[in-house]
Every structure is written in C-alpha cells, then in structure tokens.
Structure 1
Amino acid sequence: MKLIPKHIIFLLLITLTFSSGKVQAQSRTKVNFGFDWEFKREEKMASNWEKITIPHTDKIEPLVVNNQFQGTSWYQKKFKVENSNNKKVFLYFEGVMQEADVWINDQKITNHKGGYLPFTVDITAFLNLKKENTIKVKVNNEDNPEFLPGKPLKDLDFNYYGGIYRNVYLLTTDKLYITNVVEADKKASGGVYVNFDNINKEKASGTVQVHLKNEFAVAKYVSLKFILTTKAGGKLEFKSEAFAIKANSDKAITQNIEVKDPKLWSISNPNLYHLEVQVISNNKMIDSYSEKVGIRKSEIKDDGYYLNDEKVYITGTNEHQEYPYLGYAISDEAQYRDAVKIKNAGFDFVRLSHYPHAEAFLNACDELGILVMNSLTGWQFFGNDTFQKNAIKDIRDMARRDRNHPSIIFWEASLNETEMSESFMKEATKALKEELPFAHNYSASWIDSDNYDLFIPARQHGKAPDYWTKYNKGNRKIFIAEYGDWEYYAQNAGFNQKEFSNLKEDERTSRQLRSNGEKRLLQQAYNFQEAANSNRKGVQTIGEANWVMFDYNRGYSNDLESSGISDIFRIPKFAYYFYQSQRDTNSILDKKIVSGPMVHIANYWTSNSPLNVTVYSNCDEVALYLNDVPVGKQKPIINQNSDELKHAPFVFKVEKFIAGTLRAEGFVKGEKVVSNVVKTPESAAKIVLSYDVSSKAINPNSPDMVFVYAKITDENGTIIPDATNEVTFALSEGNAELIGENPVKAEAGIATIILKTANLKKSIKITSSSERLQKGTLTISK
C-alpha cells in the first residue's frame, strides 16, 4: 500500500455547482441484469421454463411456512455484450440462496457457498463477443452443515428461502480498473475504502484507499481524482500525482483527505456525501466508482456510547428481512420501506438478525439515520473445521462489503447463541480487526469474552428479577441485543425453544397476533415497557434492541413468531405506539419520517374494551374526552416499571362504556399540540382499500411490491376490529399480479395481499369484494 505524501495533496476546486455525480467512465457500465430470465425447479425439469425477473424466490410459500421448499433450481438467460478487446465483463450477484454454480456457454466458471453475501464472476474469457451468450445458474438451498447457518432448516429459528433473491448486475470496465472489494480478497483493501479517523465540528480528516488492477500486457501510468459532493451541491476535489502500475499486477493507493466544516452524519441529521473516484490515464477517464459515504465519530467510552461527542442511549429493534409469501425476494424499494417503518416506530438502531441484510437496506439506514449492528450468519450451531473457516471468510466478506456505511457502529463477529470455541472467537475478532484496522470498529458477541469489545446478551440470558442491571465487569459495556419476548414466553427457561414450546400462556406472552384483541396486545406492549424500563437501570448498559420489529416465520415452528410490534404485513400493534412515544417532541426529523408530538389511544372503544384506557404520548400532559365530556387531564403514570422511560404511558379510568368517541389531546408546556380520536365501530358496511409506500414510490421501471390493505369499516370509515370477513381481491387493469391467499379472511378488520408490479407505466386498478359489503376500489398511478 502506497501512502501519497501530504505535500502533493491539493484542493483543486470548491464550488456550489452540483454536477450530480453523473460523469461516467467511458468503459465502466453497470446494468441491471435481472430481466429476461427463465426458471424451473429441478423437480419439474420436464415442464416448460417459466419467464421470471430477478430478484426471484424459487417458490411462493404459504403465509405460515410449514414445509419450505428445499432443493435445486435452475436459472438461465441469453444475452449479448459489445465487442471490445480492452473490456472486462463481470457479473455481480448480491445474494443467491444458498449454493450457486454458474456456467457461461456451457463452461462452468464458479461455485459460491453462502446465501447472504455477494460474489463476482469474471466472465470475460468465456464470452462469445459476436453472438448470443447463455448463462445458467444452478441454485441449491438444502441443508449444508459446512457453511453458514449450518443448522438444518427444520431446527432453525428463521427461514432462509431460496433462489437468486437479490439483484444481479452486469459490469463492464477497462482492463485497468477499480476492483470489486469482496472479489479482490485483500485484507483491509480491495475496491474503495473510506475512513475518517480525526473528526470534530471544525474539521474531519482521513483516507480513501483505492485498489486497482491492470490486466494490460504493458505498464500503465494513471492518476486518481476524488470528488466529494454534499447534498446541497458543495464540492471538494482532490487529485493524486501520476503513478505506474506494472503489467498484469495490482496496486493500492491511499489518498489523504481533509474536509473543513464537515456535515456530520447523525441520527437526526444523516448527512451523506457523494464520493466519486475517477481513474485518469492520458487525460482520459478510463474508470470511475461512486458511492455515498458519511462522516461521523462513533465511540464507546467509560460512561456510555457517544455519537459525534454526544452521549446516546441507543434504542432499537431486531429485524428479519422476509416478506410473507415472497420470502427474501423483495425489491430495493421494499427494503427501504421497512427501514422507514423502523424509524417511524421511534427506533434509531437495528440489529440485522441473524445475517447480513441486503445492500439496499443498509443504504436506507445510511439515508434515514438508523444505527446498525451488522451480524454474522448464525444461530445455535457450531460446525466442523470447514464450517469455521467459512465463518471466518464470511466475517471478512461482510466487513469488506459494508465497511463504508456510516450507519454501522457494531460488528457481531460471532455466531448467535452458539457455544463457540476460544480459538474460533480469537480468530473471528482477529479477522474483523484485520479488515477494519482503524479505531472504533467494535466487535460484539453474546458470550462475555475478552475477545470482543462489546457484550450483547439477550435479556433472558440473565436471571430475573435483575437480569443485567447488576452486571459490572471492568470496562466492557453491555448492549441488550434482544428483550421483551423470550423472558415472558418461557419464564426464563433458557433458549432451547423447542424443548419449552408447551410453556406458552396466552395472556403472559409477548407473542400476540393482532387478532388476539386489546387485552393481549396491551400485555405485549406492557411487557416491552417493563423490560425496556428495567434495561435502563443497568449502569453498564449502553443500549437495547427489542425482539422484534415484524412477525416472521421459523423453520422449526408451525406458527408465526408473533412478538413483532407490527405484524408480518407491517400493520402496527399497540406496542408500536409505545415505542413511537419514546422519541421527544422536539425531535423533528426529515419530512418522510413520523416525528414531533404524538398521542395514541391504545383502545378500540367497544363494549368489550378495557375501561382503563391506555394512551401513549411524548407530551407533558394528556387530556381524555368521551363524547366531548372530560374524563381527565393528567401527567404520565410513574412507577417501578416506568420510572426510567423518557415518556411513561398515561392510563385513564373511564367509569363505564358509552358508545361514541374517545379523544386524547396532548399538551406541551400547557399548549395543545396533537390529538387522536377513536370511535366505536358500528355495523360493517364497506371495504376501504389502501396501499403502503412509506415515502418510497413504486418503482416505475422494475418489479416492486407493496402491501394492499382491505379495511372492513362501517359507513363512517371506522375499522371493525373483530371483523373476519372473507375478502376477494381482483386486478382489473395494470401490469402486475396479486401474491398471497385470495380470497383471504380479514384479521382484526384488515385483509392483506401483496401487489407485485412489473412496472408502473400504466395505472393499476384493484377491486375487493366481500359478501354484504360495498366493494372497495383502488387506482395506483405513477
């Protein structure tokens, strides 16, 4: 690695003219390679090939996945490339579940094991430049104990589905090019590596390392140009002096950079810079690479966690990346919408359970200001030497793929809830630190070990009633990586979930479907409240992540894991609003995010509803009215299970049920700032259709998917909370399809289906019908 001396670094230009970063190298292109594929499962090889688009799941599964498909599938596609002797051609697979063999023109060129991390295939030497080419990909998702997760699906706590389920891109470059970070296989190198290690409000300095490969038969002389552009258009440019790369060799160049008055990345202001690296030869740009980066200071200190020198108690959640029916095969836009929902719920952190998530999801976390714990694939399984070597490789590949994301503050370089050997833990941390050699890249493990920087137990791994509040072991801090579910489900019985599966008590557990009614949904919310309050009493605890954001499927279970604060269709439960209330009223975020004062009545106000009415709010006081008659005005209820919360709930005693309207008003410093209304539902009369884009419009050019909700309401539009009407969805116009049970019974007044669009060039019309109800209609336009 060559470090360019500071005296040759110079600032070429500072301007407020934004070039939009669209300058393209003459020889680098990146094309979505997901269109025009054909597919069939090996079990149906006698049938015709099915035309599909990637991302793709190899089987549409039922809502509750009892027997997920495991086997071999085949994908093929015909394509052409332009003829050029000086071009390199690559295929970049973001994720294939979980073993892939790739052929080009009937020549096998690679095998890749592991479904959660990317791989690149150099196909240059195998192409027919003057005629059509054929790619074939054999995909197998059967159990394999030699690579992660290793544990058989029937015993696993999540599903990993199958297929080429993430994006595929066709890349072309010059024969002198910036390498792919994972494929280069270089410690702390490969591709582009950005690090800012001296940061304050006045100045930020660091380095950008660029790894180049020259596949010409002669040496080449080049220079590098670095362009940092702010969102507002301010631009900084740096340039290296010329240097030589020998024929058929590679070289890493490190450029010092300094940014005055940096726009720091934070939870509330996730400022990002657009970085473009240009490779210049003979006054011509022969390659370029760009991505968004952030400048931020992340530190664990003796008294807690600090972001940009401000102490933060981290509040977050866990997330599995699955959708109902489609499994993992969802669009970048769908990934973004899930991140928006996490931020809307009041969270500023997400742990990637229990594997590296899609690149689009991490990009969304960068953009939205969501801190991330990146996680090695694993759950309760420690395999043989081959498995362990593959795990170390995955740590390296994960670090290389994701090291430039400002959102990632912790690295779970351990196998979750797995008894790992001492030697493996040492090797895991060594690999991570070799890939991330700069300060403040923190390793984390559920085992309390000197091998790791951060101890991340689940709450249930401690013992009631103290759990982790009395933990005090040197300078190592605790982050509660899971809480609120298992300790209420199995009475702290440990984490062998199959053994204790009969311990469920309906009114104790946090595992509650929306259809279970107000009492049990309130109990779920109270469990989370009680646990969150307790977590904050631990002096060593720097943050927490509840279990879990969305309901999900598990390989070993015949029901949904329903401890999500939203259901599998992303519909909030009461607990969602408890967490939303923990964000301060003066925290005003980007307009795409729900923030500011909030108040929510956790009650349907029917004759069966609790008369103790719970209201979640971040306001100083809340007033409750029943049919415009005051019930009371009060401050939050402070007791042993709420005394550490930022904003404790409000509970109002209503003497008796009277049908009508409950209205809650929130006050800050004596001024009414927000209100919420709940009305007693009357008889079911109609269906109201809606769809959810969560601030990210449907992709007009590529496949996308959104949830469509059929709400069973009365004439006034109030949802009937116990309605179970069977609803039939139909498409009357548009280039799309409906995915899911159809007809489907409503759950707690809402029936849901997935609308999968091919593109949105023309309007889509959906209708919904149910016996004795007025039909619902919905038109979606770009």
Structure 2
Amino acid sequence: MIKSFLCPFLFSVLLFAAGSQGFAQGVREKINFNEGWKFHFGNANDPTKDFNYGIANLFAKSGKAERTAIENKFDDANWRSLQLPHDWAVELPFVNTDNIDVKDHGYKPVGGLFPETSIGWYRKHFSVNAADSGKRFAVQFDGIFRDAKVWINGYYLGTNESGYVGFTRDITDYIDFHHENVMVVRVDATQYEGWFYEGAGIYRNTWLLKYNNVHFAEDGVFVHSKVEGTQANVYVESTVKNEGFSEKEFAVLANILDRNGNTIGQTSESHVVLQAGESRTVKQVVVVSSPKLWSIEQPYLYRVVPVIKSGDEIIDKQTILFGIRTVEIKANGVFLNGKHIKIKGTNNHQDHAGIGSALPDYMQYYRIGLLKEMGSNAYRASHHAPTPELLDACDSLGMLVLDEQRLLNSSPEYMDQFDRLIKKDRNHPSVFLWSIGNEEGYAQTNSFGKRIAQTLLARQKELDPTRTSTYAADLANVFTGINEVIPVRGFNYRQFAVADYHKAHPDQPLLGTEMGSTVTTRGIYEKDTINAYVPDQDLTAPWWASRAEEWWPLAAENDFWLGGFIWTGFDYRGEPTPYIWPNISSHFGVMDACGFPKNIYYYYQSWWRDKDVIHISPHWNWTGKENQLIKVWVNSNAKQVELFLNGKSLGKKEMPANKHLEWMVTYKPGTLKAVGYTAEGRKIEAIRETTGTPTALVLTPSKTVLLANGQDAVVVNVSAVDSKGREVAIANNQVQFKLDGDAKLIGVGNGDPSSHEPDTFLSGNWQRKLFNGKCQVIIQTGKSVGTVKLTTTSDGLKTNTVTFSVADVTEKGINP
C-alpha cells in the first residue's frame, strides 16, 4: 500500500545518506557506530551489582576507573553482544501493578521501583588508525533514554540528562592510536520524563565523527531561503571553528546541487582568519533561478554543500539536504508556497509494535508512508525532540512537522536542550512550526509561564528567525499566561471553545494541537471490559476529548482553524485508556501499533485524501446472530451511497460532508456491497463477505529488495485467508516464524492493546498470535548479498514463505 510513496524517494535518500557518511575521504567522515556493543544490566540500589559504581572513587583522578565496568581491562566477555539501536524496555515482561506511573509507561518494569532493570551498561571496543592521529574525533549519540554518562578509555566525557535530545562529545584527547579503545555508557532510566512509554537504552543511532581541527561547528550550518518571483535567495550561515593551537587562514564557500547532483549555484569565497580556539559565523547567499519548490505533493530536495578550503585543499565539507519553500502562518490559514493548506495532522509517540522505541531508519519511512496514504499532511512529534531519520523521512516524502520541546523551562539545562533541538532540526524543510511545550498545568496561566515562554520565544527567533512557535494548551477560552505571548494559539481538545476564542482574538492564528482522541480497538465491535476492548467505530472518547466527527467538521468548515492534529496516528505503549490492566497500550490511534488501519482511518481518509474512498464496516462474519440487526457503517467521500445485501438494495443515501452513513441490516451470511457515486459520475464499490474458516497465511512484505548494509529493515504483514483467498477478519491463530539467510527477526506484534505476548525473543522460537486476522513481523538485514527467506507456519494452515533479494548497498538501480 505504501510503496507508491516510498520508492521514488527512499533510494535517493539512501544514496544521499551513503554519500554524507563518507563526504570527501580524509576530510570529514561520519561513521556508523551501531555495531559491536556489549550490554549488561546494572542495579540502581546495589552498587555491588552495578559494577562498583557508587563505591569506586571514579572522580578522584582523571582516567581513574579501576574496579568498575569503566576500565578498559574489565572483562565483558559474558556480556550480551548487540547492535544499536537498542530498547531494553521492550524486551522485558509486563508487570501488573497499581502504580500509575508504571501503568502509563506500559506496565514495563523500568523506573525507580525496578532497580534491577533500570540501569543499563554499554561497552564498545574499537580501534583507530594511527595515520589519523592529526584529526579530531567525536562521538555522536542521537538519543539515549536517559541520564547517560559516557567514558572513553576511563576518561569521563560528561552526562546528558535528556532522553530525547542527542549530544556529541569530543574524544580527540583520549584516543589511543596503538591499542584498543573502549567506549562505556551507563544509562539510568530510573527517572521518567514523559507519561507514556519511553523505552530505555541507546535507542537511536550512534556515530563516530572524524574531521580536521579547522571545521564547521556542530550543527553550525544554517540554511534558509527566500523566494522572490522566479528566483530564490538561499542563505548559508556557516559557523566555523579553529580547534588547533595556532592561527589559521582559510576560505569558506557553499555550492548548491540539484537532485541529480548538478551544481546550480555557488557563493563567492569568504576569507577568514581565526586564532586558536576562535569561532565565527560566515553569512553567504546563492541565487537559484526557477527553483523547484518543496511541497507536500512534490518534496523536491536540493543539496547544500558548504566547504572550508586552505589554498586548493578542502579541509572540511558537509552535505545538507534542503528544500526551498515559503511558509506563512496567518489568522486565516497556513500558506505553503502561497497555497492555502488545511493542517490534517497526527500526533505520535515514537514506539512501534515489536521494537519499542528502537526503530531502524526504514521504519520511519514506513510509518510516514502509512500516514501519507491516509491523507495526513502534518506530523507532531509528541512530546519530544524527534529522531533525525524521522525528519529525513518527512523531508523526502512530503510531510510537515510540528517540532516540539520536551517541556516548558528556561533553566540552563532546558535552554541547552532547546538550543540543540532547534540547531539540529532547523535545516529540515518539513519543519514548519516549533512548539515550546505541552499542557504545562503548573505554569501555563501564571506569570512564571508567561516569562518562561517569552525567554524561549526570544531564543527561538534568535536561532531561527524564519519560523514561529505555538504552545499546546489544554484550556478553553483562556488568554492569560503563555497564551498572552504565544504567536500561534494551540488547542488541546476544547474544540467547541475555538470559535469564541477566535471572536475575542481574531488576529491570532488557531491550531488544534490535539484533537479527537476517539478510543477504538481494531476489529472489535462490542465493549469488552474483561479484555479491555472498545468498539472499532467513532463512538467513544474520554470526557476531555471528542469523537472525530465532533472536531473535524468544525476545522474543515472554518478558515480560522488552521487545522489540527489527531491524537493519535498510531496506538502506542502506555497511557491505557479507558481501561487499565490487562490493557497495556493506548486505543487512541487511527491505526494500531502495527500500522493496521482501524475503521476511523477511513473516515479521515475520506475527507483528507484527494482520491475516491469507500469502506464498509464491520466484517460480515456473525455466526449466531442470524436475523439480528447489525449496524453497518460506510465511510466514503462519494456524493451518494447505495447498500446491497446479497444483491438486494437496502437503500441509497446522500453522504453529508465530513460525516458517515449508517444502515441497520438484518444479518444474513453472504455479500454486503456498498456502491458509491461521486459528484463527477464515477462509480466506486466496497465489499464485505462472509468467509469460511482459515486455511492459509498470506504474507505481504513492504518491499522485496533489501540492502546488505546490516541496518535495512522490512515489514511483513501476515493475514489469514479462507479457501477462496478471502481474509478472515476474526482469525486468531498462533503463527510461528523461521528465517533463513543473513538477516534477523527483531520484533513481532499484532495490534492487540491487551496482549502480553513477547515482542522479541532473545532465545527460543519466534511466534505471535493473529489478532482479528492480522499480525506483523519486522526483519533486519545482515551484510551478505543473496537471498533471505521467511517461513510462517500455523497449526491447520498452509505454510507460506516470502523471499527477499539482498543487494549490495552500492548497486545502482535498486528500488528498495
């Protein structure tokens, strides 16, 4: 379903990414640092089980690490070997507890109540070529949850408290060019940050950086543009730094390349002299004639290549993917390249079924592709700094992003996190708006909140004057505190107050930062308090929220609504609502945790996609309910819909805008068919049939050509079909998985919000039950070219297989 979105863009992204890791050999290298790590649990309460951390005096002398897991000679042979990204929380069993914080984090034994499984130690052995002894080195962590302390060769590099904002540490002074180096990371997840599943561990990519003493500062190149008529001025602001011990003279310039790698513009050279330890920002401009503008429909990406030269020698070089576009946010709408667009957004946390928060890069493209297929055009990173690869996917596939600070605070720690967030993400064309926080009940209406907001807003404008900010407020018609100073007023729910607020403040743009929150369970049609399920229709919402048809018509029909973001695009671990145990995840998603659509998905698709949509629910397998009335829903954007049961018309109805249709149908086995008639005269159809018992499994991979880079991934969706090949929507068979070839299974799921089955299997056979006809397995490649075969078996069902071709990562013409 999502290949149409992924294929044209993903290969070019992979090629660009491959090029950006190497840059110019010997100038700057960004080396993937995910492989070859060792892992072991520590202990938050017992230092003797925490490798003497807290007993040994680590900070008495620089490099002193004896009697701990930090010293190089420590024997880690019995530690577990693994590849990053790694989320140890998803590997743990569920625990039934009345503690509200554990509940909201998905009933996983991570946090202060679980000292044995809340400290994780990571060690990595690596060597560095002595020929590189004149270079600078740094290690970059894109995300560790949380409170990470880092050492190399026993020398302490520092702490990063945030579980979401990445950090970089210079390791030049500590590299051993003649012996093995050891990187050690102690991760302390005893303290939560959010109120939802957050994972634990080094759950994002890591990188080893190599560059010269004169170089571009970390996230120090800011690229932005201004379109004027038939040309665009591309501004490149490059912060350069001299970390050598003597004065250096050099030149700075920047090239602009199109998608095919052709140079279409270049700045003049700016000559710079820097003293040792000095840095300076160089501002340059390139004029691009007849630019191809980045848009949701055509997300065209250029490459900006800033260069530092000493004479004719290139001493630093970066490659930045960038889109030329204009964004204006006015009281009457968002205008992208001058075109009015309604924000049709989804909120999302970052976990996925089977793999928790440790997503291979491909999964970002997969998930954004599913949202695009639904018709969504915007993504809110709720409520934290997003991973870089998520923004890469949004840049490449055409998805706007509301980029959000973890919380509202202007202390040095949080201002530093805010700085890093903006610098890291400001070059992405997909980012159209910043958010300085979410539902800060202790500060949002008082003078503290107002002053904090003013400080954050001033810093945002200093670092990125091209964009503005919002704040996600969970109050109705309130103007005090943060709302007095925030440029774009965000509403979390309280949708019926938006019109009154607009009348009182007609010049302030209004955005639904969280809307909807209908709770549904895929494939369930009766309330089930035992298994903690709710019906799979737009029927149920918490008291503080609304159903889809209560908020979207208001946003769709009023220009003073910029649009809104559904809570949520995908189900996520934690925040079980409206039930508690055995429910361990949310029901809010328009898709479940695997990305399987629920019925509400088709409501939004009907009114968000520019394509014909018609969908019938529920399924038509109701043995034991013959001659009883079944409520049938039809979601469609057709002008009229006629419903048929076994060829007999049950009536034709007009489809009201931004609504759905219903029929009460006396159940008889057979075929239920909806026929829609569009305003343009097209005829569209959807069918539900009474199926037989399952006889076979059908495997649907998201792609069949994989890359032999040790990191590519593929999603395989599994469904049960009857003897006529029809999907059996009530099947719940147990499925076993076997993989042959150089690849590994990394996660399984089925979208059941009350399932306590393992998501991963560190030993034993991989398996998962179907939930209402579906389950999912995720595979990650090795580095061998050849084939990989997945085999699925289930008692009483025909065995099925799917084979993948694994190609050399440098091979041309691959369509992944």
TM-score range, shorter chain: 0.7 to 0.9
Residues 59-138 of structure 1: pairs in structure 2 closer than 5 A: 59=89, 60-62=91-93, 65-70=106-111, 71-83=118-130, 84-138=132-186
Query: Does the 8 Å contact 1:298/1:307 carry over to 2?
Result: yes
Gaps of 5+ in 1: 1-18, 150-155, 182-190, 486-509, 586-595
Instruction: Please say if 1:419 is aligned against 2:442.
Output: yes
Instruction: Please say if 1:478 is aligned against 2:478.
Output: no
Structure 2 residue aligned with 1:690: 700
Match of 2:468 among 438, 441, 461: 441
Cα pair distance change 1:710/1:578, threshold 3 Å: same
Query: Does the 8 Å contact 2:87/2:203 carry over to 1?
Result: yes
Query: Does the 8 Å contact 2:197/2:573 carry over to 1?
Result: yes
Give 3-state SS (helix, strand or coil) of 1:414's partner: strand
Give 3-state SS (helix, strand or coil) of 1:270's partner: coil
Match of 1:397 among 388, 413, 420: 420
Give 3-state SS (helix, strand or coil) of 1:457's partner: strand
Instruction: Please say if 1:219 is aligned against 2:247.
Output: yes
Provide the rounded CA distance (Å) in 1 between the counterparts of 2:294 and 2:31.
30
1:682 Cα deviation after fit? 1.4
Give 3-state SS (helix, strand or coil) of 1:471's partner: helix
Superposed CA RMSD in Å reads 2.9
Structure 2 residue aligned with 1:566: 591
Structure 2 residue aligned with 1:276: 305
Query: Does the 8 Å contact 2:697/2:792 carry over to 1?
Result: yes
Give 3-state SS (helix, strand or coil) of 1:55's partner: coil
Residues 350-389 of structure 1: pairs in structure 2 closer than 5 A: 350-378=379-407, 388-389=411-412
Provide the rounded CA distance (Å) in 2 between the counterparts of 1:728 and 1:775.
10
Structure 2 residue aligned with 1:4: none
Instruction: Please say if 1:716 is aligned against 2:732.
Output: no
Structure 2 residue aligned with 1:50: 80
Amino acid in the other structure paired with 2:124: K
Amino acid in the other structure paired with 1:231: R
Query: Does the 8 Å contact 2:242/2:275 carry over to 1?
Result: yes
Instruction: Please say if 1:32 is aligned against 2:51.
Output: no
Structure 1 residue aligned with 2:61: none
Structure 1 residue aligned with 2:637: 618
1:375 Cα deviation after fit? 0.8
Match of 1:294 among 323, 332, 336: 323
1:650 Cα deviation after fit? 4.4
Match of 2:620 among 601, 605, 618: 605
Q: Which is further off, 116-125 or 537-546? A: 537-546
Q: Deviations over 1:602-660 (max 9, x none)?
A: 33123459755433233444454544555555541x2xxx4xx3xx4344565663413
Instruction: Please say if 1:659 is aligned against 2:670.
Output: yes
Amino acid in the other structure paired with 1:775: T
Cα pair distance change 1:62/1:529, threshold 3 Å: farther
Structure 2 residue aligned with 1:314: 343
Query: Does the 8 Å contact 1:333/1:698 carry over to 2?
Result: no
Structure 1 residue aligned with 2:564: 544
Structure 2 residue aligned with 1:781: 805
Provide the rounded CA distance (Å) in 2 between the counterparts of 1:770 and 1:561.
29
Provide the rounded CA distance (Å) in 1 between the counterparts of 2:671 and 2:119.
58
Give 3-state SS (helix, strand or coil) of 2:500's partner: coil
Provide the rounded CA distance (Å) in 2 between the counterparts of 1:82 and 1:419.
53
Query: Does the 8 Å contact 2:436/2:469 carry over to 1?
Result: no
Cα pair distance change 1:772/1:26, threshold 3 Å: closer
Q: Which is further off, 209-218 or 721-730? A: 721-730
Give 3-state SS (helix, strand or coil) of 1:470's partner: helix
Query: Does the 8 Å contact 1:445/1:454 carry over to 2?
Result: no
Provide the rounded CA distance (Å) in 1 between the counterparts of 2:296 and 2:694.
43
Query: Does the 8 Å contact 1:210/1:252 carry over to 2?
Result: yes
Residues 579-598 of structure 1: pairs in structure 2 closer than 5 A: 579-585=604-610, 596-598=611-613
1:325 Cα deviation after fit? 4.1
Q: Deviations over 1:413-449 (max 9, x none)?
A: 12434332232222222222222234x4334342741
Cα pair distance change 1:63/1:660, threshold 3 Å: farther
Amino acid in the other structure paired with 1:522: Q
Provide the rounded CA distance (Å) in 2 between the counterparts of 1:471 and 1:775.
59
Provide the rounded CA distance (Å) in 2 between the counterparts of 1:233 and 1:80.
34
Instruction: Please say if 1:407 is aligned against 2:407.
Output: no
Provide the rounded CA distance (Å) in 1 between the counterparts of 2:472 and 2:667.
51
Amino acid in the other structure paired with 2:350: Q
1:756 Cα deviation after fit? 4.2
Amino acid in the other structure paired with 2:435: E
Cα pair distance change 1:434/1:130, threshold 3 Å: same
Give 3-state SS (helix, strand or coil) of 1:347's partner: coil
1:355 Cα deviation after fit? 0.7
Instruction: Please say if 1:247 is aligned against 2:247.
Output: no
Q: Which is further off, 532-541 or 112-121? A: 532-541
TM-score, normalised via structure 2 length: 0.79
Query: Does the 8 Å contact 1:330/1:705 carry over to 2?
Result: no
Structure 1 residue aligned with 2:812: none
